[in-house]
Amino acid sequence: MSRFWSEATRHLVPYVPGEQPRQTGLIKLNTNENPYGPSPRALAAIQAANGDNLRLYPDPASDALRDAIASLHGVTREHVFVGNGSDEVLAHAFNALLRHDLPVLFPDVTYSFYPVYCDLYDISYQQVPLDEQFAIRLTDYHRPNGGIVFANPNAPTGIALEPEAIVQLLQANPDSVVLVDEAYADFGTRSSIELVTRFPQLLVVRTLSKSHGLAGLRVGYAVGDPALIEGLTRVKDSFNSYPLGRLAQAGAQAALEDHDWFLETRNRIIHSREELSLRLREMGFEVLPSSTNFIFVRHPAIAGERLAALLRENNILVRHFRRPERISDFNRITIGTEIQCDTLVEVLSRLPEIRQ
Ligand SMILES: *Cc1c(COP(=O)(O)O)cnc(C)c1O
């Protein structure tokens, strides 16, 4: 606290990201990074861009990257907005499209950055409880609102929604923005991007951090009706004209164009996820059905916080959320390499609480 802080700054409660330890040799399964890393073609493109041209500002509109994204999803450049990680894209969306009188609706258990953006931009919000199976019930969102936000698949539960439910929500909610955060959709969920040309209120947000192994490059994007994109661009151009540097634009474009690398690494992660889920269920874990690159698990014999601490003693980092209470016995475990999954199972099977 400092007397130099503004009133607004004094009241901020910032988002707390998962730990990025300095210690090496840890098995890091706490922030949903991709264990296989970026496409070699992305690395080559970054290296090629890493030269004297760095003295020049990058393309403020990221046109080449936006064209690559548009072609990937069968839309035009005018349907695409890019930002410095999808966190920045989300922040601009809350500011540009969700800042109205009525409250924004989002699940009570979801990405915990959403309430932080609301507080930052002074947006009122209501948290809608998940159902008993920890799933989003979209019919609960059929009420007056200043916008609707949810992650599909949801985080940290990993559970995905059927596209039909999303279509119904959009039909019932024509007058405010519906933001679908697809940070994990590449791991086996049908994308809502195919709906953006039918529904002008739909904005779909994506990231290269998870499915393309580029968390360190900071690139995210949104796809939606050109009028929504124009609103985002107005906010961006009132904030930072150059959110993506030359290296990020070049690397992201090459990563999205290397479809073979994406498919191969993505399929490997899905395969490991299914195998790990099976093995943990055999050990007595409840494993929510995941469509992501992580699983959300609890064991009846051990508290969530204690399990995270025991794994940490064994050099394995996972993510535990104290709040809300409802999920405090779960841990979110990122899908690592096959060897990392084996080590995790081995460590778990040696814990006295779990060993039968
Ligand atoms: C990881 C994550 C993001 C942020 O991704 P970045 O592009 O790295 O900022 C957004 N939403 C959800 C649900 C996430 O899990």
What's the 183 CA to ligand 1 centre distance in angstroms? Answer: 6
Q: Which of 201, 232, 257 is the last residue before a domain boundary? A: 257
Question: Is the same domain home to 57 and 154?
Answer: yes
What's the 52 CA to ligand 1 centre distance in angstroms? Answer: 32
CA distance 147 to 195: 17
**pLDDT at residue 355 greater than cutoff 90:** no
Sole residue written with tokens 């590449």: 186
Residue 295 forms beta bridges with which residues? 333
Distances (CA, A) of 54 to 50, 238, 248, 250: 7, 23, 12, 12
Residue 329's domain is classified under what CATH number? Answer: 3.90.1150.10
Half-sphere exposure of 88 (CA within 13 A, CB side): 20
Q: Total structural domains in the chain?
A: 2
> pTM surpassing 0.75?
yes
Question: Is the same domain home to 195 and 221?
Answer: yes
Q: Which of 257, 272, 302 is the last residue before a domain boundary? A: 257
Question: Is the same domain home to 27 and 130?
Answer: no
Question: Is the same domain home to 264 and 227?
Answer: no
Q: Using alpha carbons, select from 109, 118, 149 the residue that is nearest to residue 322.
A: 109
Q: Average the pLDDT over 199-227 and give the result.
A: 98
Considering the chain, what percentage of its residues have pLDDT values greater than 90?
96
Sole residue written with tokens 């690395």: 43
Q: Which atom of ligand 1 is nearest to the CA of 151?
A: 13
Q: pLDDT (tens digit, 9 = 90+) per residue, 240-254?
A: 999 999 999 999 999
What's the 292 CA to ligand 1 centre distance in angstroms? Answer: 12
Q: Average the pLDDT over 275-303 and give the result.
A: 98
Question: Is the same domain home to 202 and 267?
Answer: no
User: Number of helices and strands (H, E) in the chain?
Assistant: 11, 12
Residue 75's domain is classified under what CATH number? Answer: 3.40.640.10
Give phi and psi for 236, each to the nearest 5: -60, -45
Q: What is the pLDDT of residue 211?
A: 98
Sole residue written with tokens 């508290």: 303
Q: Average the pLDDT over 177-184 and give the result.
A: 98
Half-sphere exposure of 95 (CA within 13 A, CB side): 17
Question: Is the same domain home to 112 and 243?
Answer: yes
- Does residue 4 fall inside a structural domain? no
CA distance 277 to 34: 18
Question: Is the same domain home to 251 and 320?
Answer: no
Ligand 1 proximity of 181 Cβ (cutoff 6 Å) = yes
Sole residue written with tokens 């890493």: 50
Q: What is the pLDDT of residue 333?
A: 98
Q: pLDDT (tens digit, 9 = 90+) per residue, 292-341?
A: 999 999 999 999 999 999 999 999 999 999 989 999 999 999 999 999 99
Q: What is the pLDDT of residue 214?
A: 98
Q: Which atom of ligand 1 is nearest to the CA of 111?
A: 13
Ligand 1 proximity of 249 Cβ (cutoff 6 Å) = no
Q: Which of 222, 257, 292 is the last residue before a domain boundary? A: 257
- Give me the sign of the Cα torsion angle 307, 308, 312, 317: positive
Q: Which atom of ligand 1 is nearest to the CA of 87?
A: 9
- Does residue 56 fall inside a structural domain? yes
Question: Is the same domain home to 247 and 300?
Answer: no
Surface-to-core class of residue 122, CB atoms within 10 Å of its CB (0-12 exposed, 13-18 middle, 19+ buried)? exposed
Q: What is the pLDDT of residue 110?
A: 97
Surface-to-core class of residue 194, CB atoms within 10 Å of its CB (0-12 exposed, 13-18 middle, 19+ buried)? middle
Ligand 1 proximity of 295 Cβ (cutoff 6 Å) = no
- Does residue 5 fall inside a structural domain? no
- Does residue 199 fall inside a structural domain? yes
Of all protein residues, whose CA lies closest to atom 2 belonging to ligand 1?
Answer: 183
Question: Is the same domain home to 230 and 132?
Answer: yes
Across the chain, mean pLDDT equals 97
Q: What number of residues does the chain have?
A: 356
Question: Is the same domain home to 234 and 268?
Answer: no
Q: pLDDT (tens digit, 9 = 90+) per residue, 73-122?
A: 999 999 999 999 999 999 999 999 999 999 999 999 999 999 999 999 99
Considering the chain, what percentage of its residues have pLDDT values greater than 70?
100
- Does residue 205 fall inside a structural domain? yes
What's the 106 CA to ligand 1 centre distance in angstroms? Answer: 16
Question: Is the same domain home to 190 and 80?
Answer: yes
Q: Tell me if residue 223 falls in helix, strand or coil.
A: strand
Ligand 1 proximity of 183 Cβ (cutoff 6 Å) = yes
Q: pLDDT (tens digit, 9 = 90+) per residue, 38-57?
A: 999 999 999 999 999 999 99
What's the 277 CA to ligand 1 centre distance in angstroms? Answer: 23
What's the 3 CA to ligand 1 centre distance in angstroms? Answer: 33
Ligand 1 proximity of 151 Cβ (cutoff 6 Å) = yes
Pair of tokens at residue 169: 């929500």
CA distance 120 to 95: 9
Question: Is the same domain home to 233 and 288?
Answer: no
278 is in which domain, residue-wise?
Answer: 16-37+260-355
Band (356; pLDDT cuts 50, 70, 90): low
